[in-house]
Structure 1
Amino acid sequence: MPISEELAPGNSTLHSVAYARLAKCYKELGQIEEAEKLLKKRLEIEKTTNPRAIKEKINEDDKSEVGTNDEQSIETNKAAEKLRLQGNELYKLRKFKESSDIYSEALELDPNNILIHSNQALVLSKLNELDDALVHAETCIRLNPKWPKGYYRKGCILLEQKKYNEAFAALQLAKHYGGEDADLSKKIDLSRKKLKNSTNLKLIIISVAVSIISVLLLYFVEFEQIKSVLYWLFNNYFGDLW
């Protein structure tokens, strides 16, 4: 139902208000399509008469939508954290399967939560699902390449898989990035002993170096940073293997 321009000619504000009220009436009558047409007509009028107001209104709508999304994200993260804590309690009770299931639910809500991936890596290793555990440990490293626990989780899993050279490399990186857990030192000593028992020690050392370089190249792009890490590792640890 178009409004004749002969009514209040030149008064676009009045026309805009009239279209808005008509749209409301059609909406209450259940004629949604007609209401939408009237609102579009009103928008066309506003664009020609007060484009700045329209732009401000659009910006307000965008901000409102962003705010809503942020609120939803916060609630989702809270729900994921609640599930993580439930999983932790089940882990303490040694209910590893149930704990893993809860962590999986939490990751569906918050797939980039590094703590949940770390917990899942641990509990899956307890279930002897080592390949899956390794995926979660490596996800931790991808999410934060300087987080020591990601390398620690990976090193422990690789030890279980008897991949001693790769385990040694991962555990050394955990140490380099600030890992100070007593168990970390024990794991490093264990992997070092396993390597020393190897028949071809020099070949193993080269293999360890290659493993470390592979990890660094995967998660870092700055050559100077890679060089400094390798220098630290060789000076502090690799000398003990010779």
Structure 2
Amino acid sequence: MIEPASAWEVTVSSDGERILCKAHNKEQCEHCQVDWTQHNQLATTLKQVKELPSPNTPNPVRNAQVNRLKEEGNKYFKQANYTEAIRFYGMAVDLSWSRPLWEPLAFQYVREELSPILSNRSAAHLALKNNVDALVDAEMVTRLKREWSKGWFRKGKALLAMTRFEDASEAFQTGLRFDHESEELQKALAEVDQLQKSNQQ
């Protein structure tokens, strides 16, 4: 992997827009073993921003936009218009993932935003019998926020729809380890047991 050189080995392009290697005036120079491409791209992104947020605060505009898209998705979900709900959840996911690198605590905000959005999208996919898509979203929730029992509930429901009873049971049990009193997880686990018994008869 090409690493950027130290400060005294670089120069700035004549237009002042890019960092280049000093010896050959190149942004990416194999001879000098430097690559300033990503740094220059980040600088370009920053220049397009009219006003940077203070160092320790999130971007309130982006947060509001993500939340608005999620709420639109929720509205369509309640109307049982799952296709449209999935579309809005998808836009919320894309916007959340697109946070710029300079934004403080970017991954923390992404984690908190995406967990409920992906959980809801998993439920919408399940309603449309898109079982694999439902499982993918639920799996991502459990990875982003392992201790949140709702993710394990969604994962279990998707696995149950795929008649993967043992895996579904394991997901529900994992959720119960994080939330011992969850009625929905207890009911779901009982449902798996009943289905397994029915299949064995």
TM range, smaller chain? 0.5 to 0.7
Aligned-partner Cα distance in 2 for 1:68–1:109:
21
Instruction: Give the TM-score normalised by the residue count of structure 1.
Output: 0.52
Query: Deviation at 1:75?
Result: 1.5
SS at match of 2:116: helix
Partner amino acid, structure 2, of 1:84? K
Aligned partner of 2:66: which letter? A
Deviation at 1:187, TM superposition (A): 1.1
* Structure with larger Rg: 1
Unaligned runs of at least 5 residues, structure 1: 1-32, 37-63, 200-242
What does residue 161 of structure 1 align with?
A: 162
Verify the 8 A CA contact 2:53 2:59 in the aligned structure 1.
no
Tell me if 1:94 matches 2:80.
yes
> In structure 2, how many angstroms separate the alpha carbons of the residues matched to 1:180 and 1:79?
34
User: How many pairs are equivalent?
Assistant: 139
Partner in structure 2 of residue 73 of structure 1: 59
Partner of 2:115: 114
1:169 maps to amino acid: E
Question: Any conservation in 2 of the 1:133–1:157 contact (CA below 8 Å)?
Answer: yes
- Is contact 1:149–1:179 with CA below 8 Å preserved after alignment? no
Distance 1:79 1:65, change over 3 A: closer
Give the alignment's Cα RMSD to 1 decimal.
Answer: 2.6
Return the alpha-carbon distance in structure 2 between the equivalents of residues 118 and 98 of structure 1.
16
1:82 aligns with 2:83: no
Letter in 1 for 2:148: W
SS at match of 2:67: helix
2:196 & 2:83 partners in 1: Cα distance?
33
1:129 is matched with which residue? 130
- Superposition deviation, residue 181 in structure 1: 3.8
**Which of the two has greater helix per residue?**
1
Question: Where does residue 151 of structure 1 map in the other structure?
Answer: 152
1:177-225, Cα deviation, whole Å (9 max, x unpaired) = 11634332221011122334565xxxxxxxxxxxxxxxxxxxxxxxxxx
Deviations 1:98-126 (A, max 9, x none): 11101011111113311111111110111
Q: 1:70 to 1:129 in 2, by over 3 A?
A: farther
Q: Deviations over 1:71-97 (max 9, x none)?
A: 773311210111101111111111111
Structure-2 residue corresponding to 1:140? 141
The secondary structure found in structure 1 opposite 2:53 is helix
Between the aligned partners of 2:151 and 2:89, the Cα distance in structure 1 is 17
CA distance in 1, matches of 2:125, 2:131: 7
Matching of residue 174 in structure 1 with residue 175 in structure 2: yes
